[in-house]
A and B are shown apart, each in its own frame.
Chain A
């Protein structure tokens, strides 16, 4: 019998990621010819939608880019617009904004770990299968997610697509007693998140390390969420205003989503919790730092599958920082700083749960948006994911097609891609010659 020279593998749709897309692979013997992460979900043209609108509309529209990480989109747009308008907020409002990021990280990381990523480490096809084997752990994870949502409700008016944030601050400052009411749950959550970090750190991780250039924000005094310089493991250290000099989004023929590359060489790079932790471990909260010391990982870590450990440690950090911020909180006299519309330009970079996010806007003198640019984390990771798959696939080609598809999905999920953000994931098509 003649061995077939061409082989096509198709995974109908990548599951347990946000959005829809396909993976197309062509191999010749043991050689991988082509790996295309093809995002076929139509682009949503958010930037074009913003042009011509009053700047006040921007936070509510950018929040709609993602139901999982609306805070990062809203706030990055707000910070960029505040720069364009010359608005300086008070330290009290800045702390409230960090609390918002903590809430989103707890909620988003909780969902990704327990409903999407942890099933991979036990060969479970869904969170339902995982819940049959580990009901207490899944119940615990969902409780963490709930805490994040409850804090988002207090700060943002509602858990999904918050409505209480605006350029200049908040429409209404939260009541101290509303935040205090969360303290006991958050103390429980801090202890529970430590147990989650210890649990996930002892999963069996594939041997897969690469010489990534990891990119994240770095702020001298605090773990990066809402502010900082953009730094990398290759020595980059720039202000967000220089982002477009060092990074560029490019269209690739096989995908409706833009892919970001490093300039000038066009290489890929890695953003997300693992990048943040590698570049900022000394800025973790005390308990999170202790947990990172004790989990048995040698930092910096360059195994993308161990992103889940970084994610879990960040949840510990987010709980601890939340408790501190809630304890310090006094209702501010002013919830929002006034501003006058003016022609200007502003850019900002913050850390969404799944990585660095960058926005730039121009306004006219009436405060209308004349230009908008939004670079989500997933578009920055896409090139890196393709590169990783090119490295991984030769190790898998002896397996049957469905198994290859599953292993590719596991690697992709470790990045927590949000294709809705980048525009959306996975159908695997493998052609063998």
Chain B
């Protein structure tokens, strides 16, 4: 449920290795207490369908297994959805991956006007492993970029 805030940031993750990136990013932003953005953690992509009805700007943050820097994809016009698919159309719980969830929400007219996806590169996604140093650096980088964007929204 979203109160007065119209911006929603969702970090998708799990407790396993660099897959924690989305959750740790939310922790980082929570520490900065953004009053104008609702921050949420999700374990499975289809959770986000429950939360997006009342927002007009949506930021999705997830770990990805490729890339050498934080990637920012503006999905608002659907133009970069194919690119997002390369990053996020992966084996996922129930095989309902993030891009499929965005497509489904779009078909049901439930997408906000603005959607930005942030992809944080990870190296290892093994169960119960700590976050890697490199991924931690990417999380810091993503937090700074996203915070700047939220402040200037």
Chain A: residues with CB nearer than 8 A to chain B? 13, 15-18, 20, 44, 64, 67-68, 111, 115-116, 126-128, 131-132, 135, 138-139, 142, 145-146, 149-150, 159-161, 420
Contact of B108 among A16, A64, A142, A150 (CB under 8 A): A142
Chain B: residues with CB nearer than 8 A to chain A? 1, 15, 42-44, 46-47, 49-50, 91, 93-96, 100, 103-104, 107-108, 110, 127
Contact of A131 among B1, B93, B94, B108 (CB under 8 A): B108
Chain A to chain B: the 8 pairs with minimum beta-carbon distance, closest first: A146-B50, A160-B43, A131-B107, A15-B95, A67-B43, A139-B108, A128-B103, A128-B104
Q: Name the residue of chain B whose CB is nearest to the CB of A158.
A: B41
Q: Would you call A145 and B103 a contact (CB within 8 A)?
A: no
Q: 15 A-B pairs, CB-CB below 8 angstroms?
A: A13-B91, A17-B95, A20-B91, A68-B93, A127-B104, A138-B104, A139-B108, A139-B110, A142-B49, A142-B50, A142-B108, A146-B50, A160-B42, A160-B44, A161-B43
Q: Would you call B94 and A116 a contact (CB within 8 A)?
A: yes
What's the nearest-Cβ distance from chain A to residue B98, in Å?
13
Docked pose: A159 CA to B41 CA in angstroms: 10
What's the nearest-Cβ distance from chain B to residue A11, in Å?
13
Given contact pairs A111-B46, A159-B47, A160-B44, A128 touches B100 in the complex (Cβ within 8 A): yes
Docked pose: A132 CA to B112 CA in angstroms: 19
Contact of A128 among B107, B110, B127 (CB under 8 A): B107
What's the nearest-Cβ distance from chain A to residue B58, in Å?
16
A128: which B residues are within 8 A, CB to CB? Answer: 100, 103-104, 107
A127: which B residues are within 8 A, CB to CB? Answer: 96, 100, 104
Given contact pairs A142-B49, A160-B44, A115 touches B94 in the complex (Cβ within 8 A): yes
Docked pose: A367 CA to B100 CA in angstroms: 45
Q: Would you call B104 and A18 a contact (CB within 8 A)?
A: no
What's the nearest-Cβ distance from chain B to residue A424, in Å?
10
B127: which A residues are within 8 A, CB to CB? Answer: 44
Q: Would you call A64 and B104 a contact (CB within 8 A)?
A: no
What's the nearest-Cβ distance from chain B to residue A133, in Å?
10
Q: Name the residue of chain B whose CB is nearest to the CB of A42.
A: B127
B49: which A residues are within 8 A, CB to CB? Answer: 142, 145-146
What's the nearest-Cβ distance from chain A to residue B49, in Å?
6
B43: which A residues are within 8 A, CB to CB? Answer: 67, 160-161
Q: Would you call B107 and A135 a contact (CB within 8 A)?
A: yes
What's the nearest-Cβ distance from chain A to residue B11, in Å?
13
What's the nearest-Cβ distance from chain B to residue A395, in Å?
26
Q: Name the residue of chain B whose CB is nearest to the CB of A143.
A: B50
Q: Would you call A115 and B44 a contact (CB within 8 A)?
A: no
Given contact pairs A13-B91, A16-B95, A128-B103, A67 touches B108 in the complex (Cβ within 8 A): no
A135: which B residues are within 8 A, CB to CB? Answer: 107-108
What's the nearest-Cβ distance from chain A to residue B85, in Å?
12
Docked pose: A420 CA to B94 CA in angstroms: 10
A16: which B residues are within 8 A, CB to CB? Answer: 94-96
Docked pose: A159 CA to B15 CA in angstroms: 16
What's the nearest-Cβ distance from chain A to residue B109, in Å?
8
Docked pose: A234 CA to B87 CA in angstroms: 50
Contact of A64 among B1, B15, B95, B103 (CB under 8 A): B15
